[in-house]
Amino acid sequence: MKKTLQEKLAILSDAAKYDASCASSGTTRRDSKAGGLGSSGGSGICHAYTPDGRCISLLKILMTNFCIYDCVYCINRVSSHVERARFSPEEVITLTLEFYRRNYIEGLFLSSGIIRSPDDTMSDMIRIARSLRVEHGFKGYIHLKSIPEASHDLLKQAGLFADRLSINVELPTDSSMKRLAPQKQPDGIRAAMAGFRRNRDASRERSVTGKRPPRFAPAGQSTQMIVGADGANDRDILGTANQLYEGFKLKRVYYSAFSPIPESSAVLPLIKPPLIREHRLYQADWLLRFYGFGLDEITSAAPSGNLDLEIDPKLAWALANRALFPVDVSRAARHMLMRVPGFGARTVQRILAARRSGPVRYADLLRIGARVKQAEPFILLPDWSPGSLIDSASLKARYAPPPEQLSLF
């Protein structure tokens, strides 16, 4: 029997929820004053939040959840009994535009199972994006999940209509990819990412006549790694992420705690998703990208290979490098202030502004919005000195959560 639009939407949004990205920021500024519908650019907007604490910014759906691949961690793999559905291109377009007009979403995040062949699937996705842009004058955000096995030509076309393209590496190491996603080729994924980077770099160069080439995915490319489905430790995961940032200039790497799926495979453990581990990885990722930390600095503070779950990675680094503290807040350089636990990037910016008006005292830090309690052992102020606190053996205990009674069940 033919499925209704409601039934299809239920199946194909349920199938899309394991993709973490919902970003809609960082693209070109556009609006509809000269025609069409929609606007974008600047920071993204989260239009709603579900009880899992995640935001809804985009209509995140699969074009179809039929798939010829057999990746064990995926609910849509060919060997699963999950109910299947397929949207027509018109249905995807109508849903996107009608949701957008009611201010429910910022745009579309379209992904798909692989049907027939990677090229066929990718062309169908591009057809939807092109129709939104060209026929409907849609100026909102479009994120296409690219299929790495599709031809280079198609991937290049996708970038003309999408704001962001992504290709999921899914697993942090090639060996687990081979074991858990046998039809995917790690080399092919990297080649597609490199191709993306070339296309994007080329789109930013003017020709000899000074003409600009057409824009190519102005919000860049991102990827996702599943955490906790294989044996990879945090050092492996962050190492892969760091390579991706440096080698392919990725905008974001998303870490997705492996979460049990209906129709699960016997190969994978049914565990509670490791949410704290996921959180710590994001914190370490931020340190790499915005706080000037090197990969080896973060991993050397975590000798087991995994980040400490009890304290955040910046604090862990500070505790392992106490000789560098306390930092004199009135004199220290920006890069050192950024390393103080309890000081975020914005706090540091405010401290630097406040220093121009005179020395920064304890009460000033509170007004600025620093987490002073956290920072205390690591800073020196005109009216505060940590004394021997920084060398105290029990310093970590000050931050670690109180011990919990182990549960028998």
Q: Of residues 64-83, which lie at the interface with another protein (CB under 8 A)?
A: 68, 70, 78-81
| Span interacting with another protein, options 194-202, 229-237, 266-274, 400-408, rule CB under 8 A | 266-274
Q: Is the peptide bond before 269 cis (omega within 30 degrees of 0)?
A: no
> Per-residue x/- marks for another protein, 128-147, CB under 8 A?
--------------------
What's the min distance (Å) between Cβ of 127 and another protein?
22
Hey, which residues between 165 and 204 contact another protein (CB under 8 A)?
183
Piece in contact with another protein (CB under 8 A), picked from 25-33, 303-311, 325-333, 389-397: 25-33
Q: Does 401 bind another protein (CB under 8 A)?
A: no
With CB under 8 A as the rule, give the number of residues binding another protein: 71
> Considering only residues 313-372, where is the footprint of another protein by CB under 8 A?
350, 353-354, 356-357, 360, 363-365, 367-368
* Pair 277, 307: CB distance under 8 Å: yes
By CB under 8 A, tell whether 3 contacts another protein: no
**In this structure, which amino acid lies at residue 51?**
P
Q: Which is nearer to another protein, 199 or 256 (CB)?
A: 256
Q: Which stretch binds another protein (CB under 8 A): 36-44, 223-231, 237-245, 329-337?
A: 36-44
Contact call for residue 6 and another protein (CB under 8 A): yes
- Any contact of residue 266 with another protein (CB under 8 A)? yes
By CB under 8 A, name the one of 131, 203, 264, 374 that touches another protein.
264
